[in-house]
């Protein structure tokens, strides 16, 4: 007798193929109606805070419900982590006061925003070295859902609780959290130098384009900014799952959750590269969490890079497989405003994405910390005590790095952003990684 049903192995194959076919069909439709679809999605399911909300939250303007100003003496109490929602020791929010400036503002404050699944340990000690070099207070932020201690019965992995990336790291919460980090920065410094790694680099870039807060941002230091993820399926996934936000309420959330599990699997797991890497990074988490990241990156694709009018230095490795540094980051760099800017390529880091870390890339920490410090002193710090130093170090900066070409990726102008091309089955089956 011939069985009418498909073998189990065939069913397991058809499910991801059907899911992939669905999302591909959506992308093809959006290729023609991209801009209109984006406007509809941003109207129906708005994620990005309005300019009025930014001014009210950070600058205490424009609303009777305005958040009161935060004073330096209040900062430590304000960032104190709650005992009810415990955080891994070392991942908590923390302010480092400059020498002899405890509870006092410095001319500049450095604010560090970490990447997806990480915490303030990700780029240690680069933020500390930059802040110390210019005598600035430093604030290291913790994004929602990151660095949480495990609860009994939750998804394991030996590090922070990955399920909180689903529960707490909602797209709007991530953007509001970046705004809150800037608020703390302005409580401990007259002007803020934003230092962002990966997803934190995108959030820092977005903050620097906001009209109400731009005058208070002195400069940007961006490390492997995640303007796009490096996996070849990323263009398909981001646009498709953005479109599914048009489905109503819980039904839309269930559909999105089902499809991303069908395409990627139920769990995202990365190997621990060291004990500290495991201790401070969410290496195991439900793939649903990636939807939060996709929504943020999709929303911020419309950043007006030309509005970046502060000195900016960008670091990255052309072999970065987590983010698309070769095309997206370099294209963004070229579109930044007519300001002092530098693109610094690092090619010898132990980890191609986390390139400024004692934990994962110790050999390139000095190179990045020194280059960033030189740039900050030459182009950002304007105190009279640093004027002579700035004049000396400006000539020490390396010449602009030539943009590297690649045969695998290309930029295609569309209404929905840039696409990365791929040429082999190996590319398609490469593990999906996020930054």
Question: 78-114 pLDDT, tens per residue?
Answer: 999 988 888 999 999 999 999 888 889 999 999 999 9
Q: Is the pLDDT of residue 154 over 90?
A: no
Which pLDDT score, from 0 to 100, does residue 401 have? Answer: 40
- The distance from CA 59 to its chain's CA centroid, rounded to whole angstroms, is 23
Which pLDDT score, from 0 to 100, does residue 231 have? Answer: 86
Question: 364-381 pLDDT, tens per residue?
Answer: 999 999 999 999 999 999
In contact, 434 and 231? CB cutoff 8 Å: no
CA distance 407 to 415: 23
CA distance 274 to 417: 36
Which pLDDT score, from 0 to 100, does residue 45 have? Answer: 87
Which pLDDT score, from 0 to 100, does residue 323 have? Answer: 95
Question: 280-298 pLDDT, tens per residue?
Answer: 999 999 999 999 999 999 9
Residue of higher predicted confidence among 83 and 31: 83
Question: 136-145 pLDDT, tens per residue?
Answer: 999 999 999 9
Beta pairing, strands 217-223 & 267-269: unpaired
Q: Whats the size of the chain, residue-wise?
A: 435
Q: Is the pLDDT of residue 4 over 70?
A: no
Question: 202-224 pLDDT, tens per residue?
Answer: 999 999 999 999 999 999 999 99
Residue 7's pLDDT band (cuts 50, 70, 90): low
Q: Where are the domains of the chain?
A: 15-428
Which pLDDT score, from 0 to 100, does residue 267 have? Answer: 93
Place of tokens 């934990």: 359
Residue 35's pLDDT band (cuts 50, 70, 90): confident
Please tell me whether residue 116 adopts helix, strand or coil conformation: coil
Which pLDDT score, from 0 to 100, does residue 83 have? Answer: 80
> What are the residues whose beta carbons fall under 8 Å from the beta carbon of 202, sequence distance 6 or more?
196, 225, 226, 227, 296, 297, 300, 303
Q: For 29-38, 156-165, 285-294, 407-416, which range has the lowest pLDDT when averaged over its residues?
A: 407-416
Please tell me whether residue 211 adopts helix, strand or coil conformation: coil
Which pLDDT score, from 0 to 100, does residue 11 have? Answer: 52
Secondary structure element (H or E) that encloses residue 90, with its range: none
203 C-beta neighbours (distance < 10 Å), count: 28
DSSP summary character for residue 45: S
In contact, 285 and 117? CB cutoff 8 Å: yes
Strand 137-140's sheet: what is its strand order? 94-96, 137-140, 106-113, 189-197, 217-223, 312-316, 341-345
Q: Is the pLDDT of residue 181 over 60?
A: yes
Q: How much is the average pLDDT of 311-321?
A: 95
Which pLDDT score, from 0 to 100, does residue 99 have? Answer: 87
CA distance 362 to 356: 7
Residue 71's pLDDT band (cuts 50, 70, 90): very high
Give the pair of three-digit tokens for residue 268.
């995202």
Which pLDDT score, from 0 to 100, does residue 159 have? Answer: 74
Beta pairing, strands 267-269 & 284-286: antiparallel
In contact, 330 and 403? CB cutoff 8 Å: yes
Residue of higher predicted confidence among 403 and 315: 315
- The closest alpha carbon to 41, from 299, 378, 405, belongs to 299
Alpha helices, H only, 227-329: 234-243, 249-264, 275-280, 289-299
CA distance 151 to 346: 39
Q: Is the pLDDT of residue 24 over 70?
A: no
CA distance 391 to 377: 9
Q: For 57-66, 338-347, 400-409, which range has the lowest pLDDT when averaged over its residues?
A: 400-409
Mean pLDDT of the chain: 82
Q: Which is the CATH superfamily of the domain at 15-428?
A: Alpha/Beta hydrolase fold, catalytic domain (3.40.50.1820)
DSSP string over 178-191: HHHHHHHHHHHEEE
């Amino acid at each position: 007798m011939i069985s009418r049903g498909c073998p189990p192995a065939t069913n397991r194959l058809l499910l991801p193929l059907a899911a992939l076919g669905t999302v591909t069909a959506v992308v093809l439709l959006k290729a023609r109606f991209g801009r209109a679809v984006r406007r509809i999605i941003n109207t129906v399911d708005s994620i990005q805070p309005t300019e009025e909300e930014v001014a009210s939250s950070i600058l205490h303007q424009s609303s009777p419900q305005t958040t009161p100003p935060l004073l330096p003496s209040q900062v430590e109490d304000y960032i104190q982590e709650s005992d009810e929602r415990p955080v891994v020791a070392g991942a908590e929010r923390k302010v480092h006061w400059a020498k002899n400036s405890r509870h006092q503002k410095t001319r500049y404050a450095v604010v560090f925003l970490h990447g997806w699944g990480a915490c303030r340990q990700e780029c240690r000690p680069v933020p500390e070295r930059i802040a110390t070099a210019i005598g600035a207070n430093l604030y290291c932020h913790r994004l929602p859902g990151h660095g949480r201690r495990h609860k009994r019965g939750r998804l394991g992995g030996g590090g922070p609780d990955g399920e909180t990336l689903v529960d707490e790291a909602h797209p709007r919460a991530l953007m509001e959290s970046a705004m809150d980090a800037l608020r703390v920065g302005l409580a401990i410094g007259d002007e803020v130098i934003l230092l962002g790694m990966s997803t934190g680099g995108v959030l820092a870039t977005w903050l620097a384009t906001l009209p109400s807060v731009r005058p208070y941002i002195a400069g940007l230091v961006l490390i492997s900014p995640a303007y796009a993820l490096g996996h070849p399926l990323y263009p398909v996934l981001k646009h498709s799952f953005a479109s599914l936000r048009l489905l109503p309420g819980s039904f839309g959330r269930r559909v999105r959750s089902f499809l991303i599990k069908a395409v990627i699997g139920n769990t995202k797991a990365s190997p621990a590269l060291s004990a500290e890497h495991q201790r401070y990074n969410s290496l195991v988490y439900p793939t649903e969490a990636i939807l939060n990241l996709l929504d943020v990156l999709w929303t911020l694709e419309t950043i007006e890079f030309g509005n970046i009018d502060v000195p900016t230095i960008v670091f990255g490795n052309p072999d970065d497989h987590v983010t698309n540094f070769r095309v997206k980051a370099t294209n963004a760099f070229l579109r930044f405003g007519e300001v002092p800017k530098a693109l610094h390529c690092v090619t010898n880091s132990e980890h191609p994405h986390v390139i400024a870390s004692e934990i994962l890339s110790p050999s390139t920490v000095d190179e990045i910390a020194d280059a960033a410090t030189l740039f900050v002193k030459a182009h950002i710090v304007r105190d009279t005590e640093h004027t002579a130093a700035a004049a000396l170090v400006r000539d020490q900066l390396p010449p602009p790095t030539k943009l590297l070409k690649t045969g695998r990726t290309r930029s295609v102008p569309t209404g929905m952003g840039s696409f990365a091309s791929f040429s082999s089955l190996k590319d398609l089956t490469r593990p999906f990684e996020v930054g």
